[in-house]
Amino acid sequence: MNRAGHAGDGYARATGKPGVCIVTSGPGATNMVTPLATAQMDSIPLVCLSGQVATKVIGNDAFQEADVTGITRPCTKWNYLVKDVKDLAKTIKEAFHIARSGRPGPVLIDLPKDVSIGKTVFKEPDDVVLRSYNPTYVPNRKQLQKVVDLIKKAEKPVIFIGGGVILSRAHKELTELARKTNIPVTGTLMGLGGYPAPDPLWLGMLGMHGTYRANMSVSECDLMIAVGVRFDDRVTGKTDEFATNAKIVQIDIDPTSIQKNIQVDLPVVGDCKISLEILNQMIDQEEDMDDFASRHPDWLKRIDEWKRTTPLAYDQKDVIKPQFVIEKLYELTKGDAIITTEVGQNQMWTAQYYHFSEPGRFISSGGLGTMGFGLPAAVGAQAAMPGKTVVDIAGDGSIQMNIQEMATAIQYHLPVKIVILNNGFLGMVRQWQQLFYDKCYSSTKFQHTPDFVKLAEAYGAVGLRATKPEEVEKVLKEGLACDRAVIMDFRVEPEECVYPMVPAGAPISKMLLV
């Protein structure tokens, strides 16, 4: 039930189209709270149809009744209780419109039993017109002209992208802007894939587990062009010390994202793709355009130095390093797989060591951090993209939250690949206990974990295991070649930490390095 929601979410993230899920009333619907909240936090278009008791017994505590519109109100963009089958067509059309327009989000339609079995003559509803809901797609040109002027003056500019670039599929326009102005690009977790990661202008992810060069660049920049971000605390660190030297431009379709956590100098309300398109045109019309592409060489040199002196690094000795598994996976899939993740260290290492070049390739619960998201999301993504390699990079903890989804993968012949970075711990929590609570490992060590190879086989999937570094490549190759769902169990270094790390509440320039 819960998994149907994440699967619809995975479908939506992979394709950019709204995902759909259907659940039964009462417990089915209450189980949707987590997927709806997950989609709400990451602005994912998801339409959920939930069953409800018949209209005449609503409010009577009938069998499997729950106040589902009440329960889901804070975790949906909008929701409906349909009381008359004649309203159904219009409601469904409106729901899809709301889910995918503006800043997208989940919409729930609660369907009482008598409505769902009711009959009516279908009449194509009129186009949706909601006088109180008209998102601003086209930005104010005057504001954008000011952005051009700021770009001209900047000596240490940075572009900072988030999920908005992915959701509006603005990656081409963004890439054009960065290349034409020679401005380096960093991003949030949700922004990965918005700019081609192998490109020299890509700085890597920003924030708590951001790269040294990304965090330093943002801390020192004199202009930040933020596109489709909401300045989450995992990215800003201490807000008072975030990009203090910079003029900040923020482009976003949702006005509530602007001036919420960070005071910006130049707000632009508009769709990311349309805004960047216009911005690019404006830059093209500038007279002194020629030197744009070769600007601020000193700044880029400085960033390069940060990259050289303090790159992402790990030391692969005789125990498998989780980072090594992901690097190998990147190599073997040539960066072309759809990768979902669970939550924790597995998620952060994926963000650091798998390099994404397109939207819809990195599918991860960012805002809510929902363990158990990865496997059902992979199933949804695989259903959407039958020809693609879909891999869930998982932790040994998270994977056990929705492991039953293996049965769905087998039943529908969805050959998802699960890479478990099995460290014997709730690793990310353990890392905090190690670094900030004197290694007081409370409730984070697994005293018992199932045998994942046998578990895979029990589901009718393939189970593989690597315990030594030299087995990693072989297991990955074999797993990726499977035409069935497969679990690959990698026994990795138990107490590896994700670095760099910015302690919660510290400025992002103050990173703990290996």
Ligand X SMILES: Cc1ncc(C[n+]2csc(CCOP(=O)(O)OP(=O)(O)O)c2C)c(N)n1
In the bound state with other proteins, the residue whose beta carbon lies nearer, of 102 and 157, is 102
In the bound state with other proteins, the residue whose beta carbon lies nearer, of 102 and 187, is 102
- Which position has the token pair 């379709």? 253
In the bound state with ligand X, the residue whose beta carbon lies nearer, of 285 and 442, is 442
Angstrom distance (rounded) from CA 435 to CA 167: 35
Angstrom distance (rounded) from CA 514 to CA 212: 11
Q: Where are the beta strands (DSSP E) in 113-261?
A: 157-161, 185-187, 202-205, 223-227, 247-252
Encode 21-86 in three state secondary structure. EEECCCHHHHCCHHHHHHHHHCCCCEEEEEEECCHHHCCCCCCCCCCHHHHHHHHCCEEEECCCHH
In the bound state with Mg ion, the residue whose beta carbon lies nearer, of 357 and 423, is 423
In the bound state with other proteins, the residue whose beta carbon lies nearer, of 131 and 301, is 131
Q: Which residue is nearest to ligand X (CB)?
A: 395
What would the x/- binding string for ligand X be over residues 158 to 197, using CB under 6 A? ----------------------------------------
Residue 267 makes contact with ligand X by CB under 6 A? no
Q: Which of 274, 375, 421, 472 binds ligand X (CB under 6 A)?
A: 421
Q: What, of Mg ion, other proteins, ligand X, none, does residue 131 touch, CB below 5 to 8 Å by kind?
A: other proteins
- Which position has the token pair 């505590």? 61
Q: Which of 167, 178, 272, 343 binds ligand X (CB under 6 A)?
A: 343
**Nearest C-alpha neighbor of 452 from the set 495, 491, 410:** 491
In the bound state with ligand X, the residue whose beta carbon lies nearer, of 158 and 421, is 421
**Nearest C-alpha neighbor of 10 from the set 349, 414, 348:** 414
Q: What, of ligand X, Mg ion, other proteins, none, does residue 98 touch, CB below 5 to 8 Å by kind?
A: other proteins
Residue 391 makes contact with ligand X by CB under 6 A? no
Residue 210 makes contact with ligand X by CB under 6 A? no
Q: Where are the beta strands (DSSP E) in 156-257?
A: 157-161, 185-187, 202-205, 223-227, 247-252
Angstrom distance (rounded) from CA 38 to CA 478: 33
Q: Which residues contact 200 (CB under 8 A, 6 or more apart)?
A: none
In the bound state with other proteins, the residue whose beta carbon lies nearer, of 259 and 404, is 259
Residue 51 bridge partners (DSSP): 111
Residue 489 makes contact with Mg ion by CB under 5 A? no
Angstrom distance (rounded) from CA 205 to CA 216: 12
Q: Which residue is nearest to Mg ion (CB)?
A: 395
How many angstroms separate the Cα of 472 from the Cα of each of 314, 347, 419? 16, 19, 11
Q: Which residues bind other proteins (CB under 8 A)?
A: 69-70, 73-74, 77-79, 81, 98, 130-133, 254-256, 259-260
In the bound state with other proteins, the residue whose beta carbon lies nearer, of 52 and 69, is 69
Q: What, of Mg ion, other proteins, ligand X, none, does residue 352 touch, CB below 5 to 8 Å by kind?
A: none
Q: What, of ligand X, Mg ion, other proteins, none, does residue 86 touch, CB below 5 to 8 Å by kind?
A: none
Residue 223 bridge partners (DSSP): 157, 247
Q: Which two tokens stand for residue 196?
A: 């081609």
Q: Is the dihedral of CA 500, 431, 493, 461 positive or negative?
A: negative
What would the x/- binding string for Mg ion be over residues 356 to 395, using CB under 5 A? ---------------------------------------x
Residue 346 makes contact with ligand X by CB under 6 A? yes
Q: Which of 350, 352, 357, 423 binds Mg ion (CB under 5 A)?
A: 423
Q: What, of ligand X, other proteins, Mg ion, none, does residue 369 touch, CB below 5 to 8 Å by kind?
A: ligand X
Q: Which residues in this chain contact ligand X in the complex, by CB under 6 A?
A: 342-346, 369-372, 395-398, 421, 423, 425-429
